[in-house]
Amino acid sequence: MNFEKYIKQARQSRFGLFKLNLGLGFIIPFNKPHRIKIKEIGDDFVKTTIPYKRKNFNHIKGIHACGLATAAEFASGFHLLTKLDSKKYRLIMESLEMKYHYQAKSTVTAQFEANNEWIRNQVLDPLRTSEKVFVRCEIKLMDEQGNHVATGFTKWQIKEWSAVKTRI
């Protein structure tokens, strides 16, 4: 699958974004029943959404903490993949930390931002002297009313595929 082509189309049109989300529903089946989707892709950010619907509720009819965490993880991981060559680099989430500030009683948007300079300083330059790097990403989650619902922190291990060792 040519991700670069779909990402470019998603930046240019609603239909392109629809096609990307449709494909991601098959590639990442866990997100599909929760309808976690990419809302917007910019050069330096990705926004994902988790809708306010029954399947995503906790016991007090707010969006479940794990759903918010998944939206945060998706935003940061996807944006890193748009900035890096997925054929050259492998990402694995090492840890996820969440700080909850406000009850989510409407659709929530998770946004992660990282520009080319951040990618160069945090990922590409360190990989010149190390087999792997760990980057900590901060993701802000906001509800439709503008309330800061939560802050997510994902820590990603990034290495070149050529350095990946797996057992068979």
CA distances from 106 to 28, 37, 112, 114, 134 (A): 24, 15, 20, 26, 33
> Domain containing 19: what range?
3-88+100-116+139-151
Tell me whether residue 132 is in a domain: no
Tell me whether residue 167 is in a domain: no
| pLDDT tens by residue, 117-162 | 999 999 999 999 999 999 999 999 999 999 999 999 999 999 998 8
Total domains, the chain: 1
| pLDDT tens by residue, 158-167 | 999 888 887 6
CATH number, position 83: 3.10.129.10
The predicted model scores a pTM of: 0.90
Tell me whether residue 24 is in a domain: yes
Helix, strand or coil for residue 159?
strand
Tell me whether residue 146 is in a domain: yes
The number of helices, as runs of H, and strands, as runs of E, in the chain is: 5, 6
Backbone angles phi, psi at 104, to 5 degrees: -85, 105
Please return the burial class of 82, using the count of CB atoms within 10 Å of its CB with bins 0-12, 13-18 and 19+: buried
Question: Of 113 and 3, which is predicted with more confidence?
Answer: 113
**How far is CA 107 from its chain centroid?**
16
If one counts every other C-beta atom within 10 angstroms of the C-beta of residue 105, the result is 17
Tell me whether residue 126 is in a domain: no
Mean pLDDT on 81-109: 94
| pLDDT tens by residue, 50-88 | 999 999 999 999 999 999 999 999 999 999 999 998 889
pLDDT of residue 145: 96
Tell me whether residue 124 is in a domain: no
Tell me whether residue 61 is in a domain: yes
pLDDT of residue 116: 96
